[in-house]
Amino acid sequence: MARPMTMAEKILADHAGLDEVVPGQLIECDLDGVLANDITAPIAIKTVREIGAGVFDPTKIFLVPDHYSPNKDIKSAEQTKVTRDFAHEMGITHYFEQGCMGVEHALLPEKGIVGPGDLIIGADSHTCTYGGIGAFSTGVGSTDAGVGMATGRAWFKVPESVRIQVDGELPAGASAKDIILYVIGKIGVDGALYCAMEFAGSTISNLSVEGRLTIANMAIEAGGKAGLFEVDDVARAWLDGRCERPYKEYHSDPDCTYKQVVKIDAADVVPQVSWPHLPSNTHPVAESRDIKIDQAVIGSCTNGRIEDMRAAADVLRGRTVDPNVRCIVIPATQGVWLQCVHEGLMDVFIDAHCVVSTPTCGPCLGGYMGILAAGERCVSSTNRNFVGRMGDPTSEVYLASPAVCAASAVAGHIALPSDLDQA
């Protein structure tokens, strides 16, 4: 009989064709999908061509030009052309041209291309997002992605698992983004180094799938190899009619072994903001009100889904952005963009004097669509706030939820939505 295993261990064991695995074990696994974008795909493609075998399955390669798309300059256009030409040559099923695309980690779950129980590698560190729907997904280097594209296999060192147990009711105004910022602030940017972070507890069970994807997305910011949520009725309802393939649920055994169990009282998770220059540099928003801003960004693979757009619109409705602030709203996919139109959210954003962009990673990585000048400050619903992340090395990025970003845009400084009612 196999040893009691965590969710992560079970997925890896199945894909390695083994009855059981143990942390630290080196294994080779069959892959359900390999992802790359307009920055990372050209290197992966070069590796595929060096191997000379083509791709292992054109239905399991996912190519999404999202980082510099629509192309911002000649170099980015050439990068995308390499990706596009390869997709057409190899008959890649899941290549998303710019009019059909979205930010990759929002797009693939939305389209049902990834699902529970999948083993996915991607040449992007935030590939861990798909753990929000029960997949083991993780970022790899472009060369490793290229080998995966050619062979359909990849090697893994089985990670230890850390259980993040969050129970209770969140305070007013707190969201999934605040949970993950609080966790990272508590354990540090290397607190789960090369570990599978498994999220559980009554608070987690009450989160939407969008919220779970947000948390899984930022597992890498705590050093995690993956972020995982077990599939429950909430997830099943969201997945119903969406997944293009049958999926398999995995659940941790009650007596499995965790490296660590981190217990969190949801009542302690007040709205958070990460100050520069690490996601772990967290502070309550209520203690950050004296920080003036020049820009707010609402979007990204972390917080660009329809739930996030609604949260921002609820704050912005009937209000206008401070004249000294630029507020940039980026729906994460064309689907989300269109839903914003149908729900009247675009009217809210435009009336509030926001800039609304086509789906793109854009400012998150300092690509375009919101680069910061020297000394400027931005509050953003993205996932990283490293030195120079959004522009000039002397600029500053503060991470927060979409609602806090929207409130801050109106106030001209970091603020809670409730602050606007008192103004």
Rounded to the nearest integer, the mean pLDDT of the chain is 95
- pTM of this prediction? 0.94
CATH of residue 240: 3.30.499.10
Tell me the pLDDT tens digit for each residue of 122-180. 999 999 999 999 999 999 999 999 999 999 999 999 999 999 999 999 999 999 999 99
Domain boundary among the residues 263, 294, 313 is at 263
How do strand 94-95 and strand 61-64 relate by DSSP bridges? parallel
Tell me the pLDDT tens digit for each residue of 5-27. 999 999 999 999 999 999 999 99
And the tokens for 422? Answer: 């008192």
pLDDT at 1: 59
Residue 422 within any structural domain of the chain: no
**Pair 163, 79 in one domain:** yes
**Pair 137, 20 in one domain:** yes
**Pair 313, 350 in one domain:** yes
pLDDT at 96: 94
CA distance 346 to 344: 5
**Pair 113, 168 in one domain:** yes
And the tokens for 177? Answer: 């983004």
Tell me the pLDDT tens digit for each residue of 84-108. 999 999 999 999 998 888 999 999 9
Residue 98 within any structural domain of the chain: yes
| Phi, psi of 367, deg, nearest 5 | -80, -65
CA distance 179 to 187: 12
- Domain enclosing residue 408, as ranges: 273-416
**Pair 256, 302 in one domain:** no
**Pair 152, 211 in one domain:** yes
**Pair 179, 240 in one domain:** yes
If you average pLDDT over residues 36-45, what whole number do you get? 95
| Phi, psi of 177, deg, nearest 5 | -60, -40
Residue 101 within any structural domain of the chain: yes
Domain boundary among the residues 263, 293, 328 is at 263
Task: State how far the alpha carbon of 262 is from the alpha carbons of 54, 88, 163, 197, in Å.
Answer: 44, 47, 6, 10
**Pair 11, 43 in one domain:** yes
**Pair 309, 240 in one domain:** no
How do strand 272-274 and strand 282-284 relate by DSSP bridges? antiparallel
Residue 2 within any structural domain of the chain: no
Domain boundary among the residues 232, 263, 294 is at 263
Instruction: Give how many domains the chain has, as a whole number.
Output: 2
Tell me the pLDDT tens digit for each residue of 204-255. 999 999 999 999 999 999 999 999 999 999 999 999 999 888 999 999 999 9
Tell me the pLDDT tens digit for each residue of 187-210. 999 999 999 999 999 999 999 999
**Pair 293, 255 in one domain:** no
Residue 102 within any structural domain of the chain: yes
**Pair 194, 312 in one domain:** no
Residue 421 within any structural domain of the chain: no
**Pair 70, 217 in one domain:** yes
* Residue 94: cis peptide before it, omega within 30 degrees of 0: no
Please, how many CA atoms are within 13 Å of residue 156, restricted to the half-sphere of its CB?
Answer: 33
Whether pLDDT at 262 is above 70: yes
Q: Residue 135: which region, alpha, beta or left (left: phi > 0; alpha: psi -120 to 50)?
A: beta
Extract the runs of DSSP E, i.e. beta strands, from 20-159: 26-30, 33-37, 61-64, 94-95, 119-122, 136-139, 153-157
And the tokens for 88? Answer: 């057409």
And the tokens for 28? Answer: 């080779």
